[in-house]
Amino acid sequence: MNIRPIVSSLSALAVSIALLPFGDFPAEAQMTMHFTTPFVTDSGFVGAAGNMHYITLGVTGFSLKSATIGLPIDMERSIEVKAFDPNGMEILGTLKKSPGGITIDFNQPIDPNTYVRLQLSGVDMSRMGGRALYRVSTQLQGIEGEVPIGSAMIRLKDPS
């Protein structure tokens, strides 16, 4: 009887057991995020028609004076934007439309450590399906110029 396969198998088993970690070891790498400017936390569309999109911003670091949403090239420019606080109350502001997008200047700066939901109504795109990519930038109290804070991607309603 050839015992070489048995010895090889037992040796492989012994090495495998010796290399298995025993006990709970902490993770060797951890990720901690500390946001110093507002950031995009969520985006999507409301309702079955898909003509109302939203972008949620986490306000951190500085008070938020305004938000600019860059619109996709093939999107109609008849869009209206409203802002809402976490309780669903409208935040008053003034809209400015430009060829590149829509800016909402808030009547009162929005304090840090809260969320703002920007709701775009009247979205009418020349295509169905795919995705809409919005570039988002802000103006912050105490900071000169616009600060780009990210992008919001919204999956468009599929044609059916």
Does a structural domain hold residue 89? yes
pLDDT in tens, 135-153: 999 999 998 999 999 999 8
What pLDDT does 31 receive?
67
Domain that holds residue 81: 39-155
Structure tokens at 95: 């809209």
Q: State the Cα–Cα distance between residues 52 and 123, nearest whole angstrom.
A: 6
Does a structural domain hold residue 112? yes
Q: pTM of the prediction? A: 0.75
Category of 55 on φ-ψ map: left (φ > 0), alpha (ψ -120 to 50) or beta: beta
pLDDT in tens, 45-61: 887 667 788 999 999 98
Does a structural domain hold residue 5? no
Does a structural domain hold residue 74? yes
CATH assignment at residue 123:
2.60.40.740
Q: Total structural domains in the chain?
A: 1
Does a structural domain hold residue 2? no
Structure tokens at 86: 């976490």
